[in-house]
Amino acid sequence: MPARSPFTMLCRAAFAPRSDRADLHAHTTASDGRYTPKQIIDVAVRTGLAALAITDHDTMAGWHAAREFAPDNFELIPAVELSCESGGREVHLLGYYVDPADSDLEAAMARLCAGRLERYGEMVARLGRMGVSVGEEAMGPAPGRRHLAAALVAAGRVGTVREAFHRYLDDHGPVNVPKQRLAVDEGIQLVRAAGGVASLAHPGPKVDRPVLAELAARGLGAVEAEYPTFARSRTIQLRAWAKELGLAVTGGSDCHGPDEFRRRIGCRTVDTADLNRLRDQRECARC
């Protein structure tokens, strides 16, 4: 068996000693992930991570459920990934070290989740009008297109989740409905008011230094520079901009379950120094 085969790499990760690494981007069944909160903690601990941020879309239900399963020597960071928009484009904000009991943040997440439920129902109705029926797919408080794609696979309407998106659910597909989103300024301020640090998730190629500088001036505290699809050159570039602009660096796998090896838990991480800078940003925001 080749030394660098996926199986060998997975075994090495599974039996790795505890490190100083943290995966700051992962999803559970509370949103569109396939791991339950307990499973994702088990995988993170077995992988040897020191810390994990469960960043479910528009809800902290997964974090709440996972707390009882986290070992005493393991840091489970309270976090969320908020659906936002800027200039008509969808952007995602990662909020770290937020107070999960903050009433304004709770209300905003509840509003977004209600919009998700309404959107899901409309997409099912659109499928019905096309003569495509689906069964019920198990889903948490923040349903999305992945749930509907899985329901289409289970109903035998498509062979794979990828096919479901290609035929029906892509951004310009016949079934997709735009989700409810917060203005990016509102998202940043909600995270900051909840005692946390807002990080720009997986910034696309159109995000350059001037864009980051503008967002930093509006309260952004970090940028995600470690991400599974980023070339090393992009990571180096984002880290350099972050240093120049006084932003912390975040990163993680964006894991959605065991079936996506390239986004397995711990495949992209940050170290203690990065995590300390993120904590420092939280303290600075309180000054």
Q: What is the pTM of this model?
A: 0.89
Sheet of 51-54: strand order equals 22-26, 51-54, 75-77
> Which pLDDT belongs to residue 255?
97
- Looking at residue 35, its pLDDT comes to 96
Name all domains of the chain by residue range, CATH numbers in brackets: 20-109+191-286 (3.20.20.140)
Q: What angle do CA 209, 214, 219 make, to 5 degrees?
A: 120
Per-residue confidence (pLDDT) for residue 18, from 0 to 100: 53
The whole-number pLDDT of residue 94 equals: 98
- pLDDT score, position 112: 97
How confident is the chain (287 residues) per 10-residue block, as mean pLDDT?
A: 45 53 97 96 97 98 97 96 94 97 98 96 95 83 92 94 96 94 98 98 96 97 98 98 98 94 95 96 72
pLDDT at 287: 58
Q: So what's the pLDDT on residue 260?
A: 83
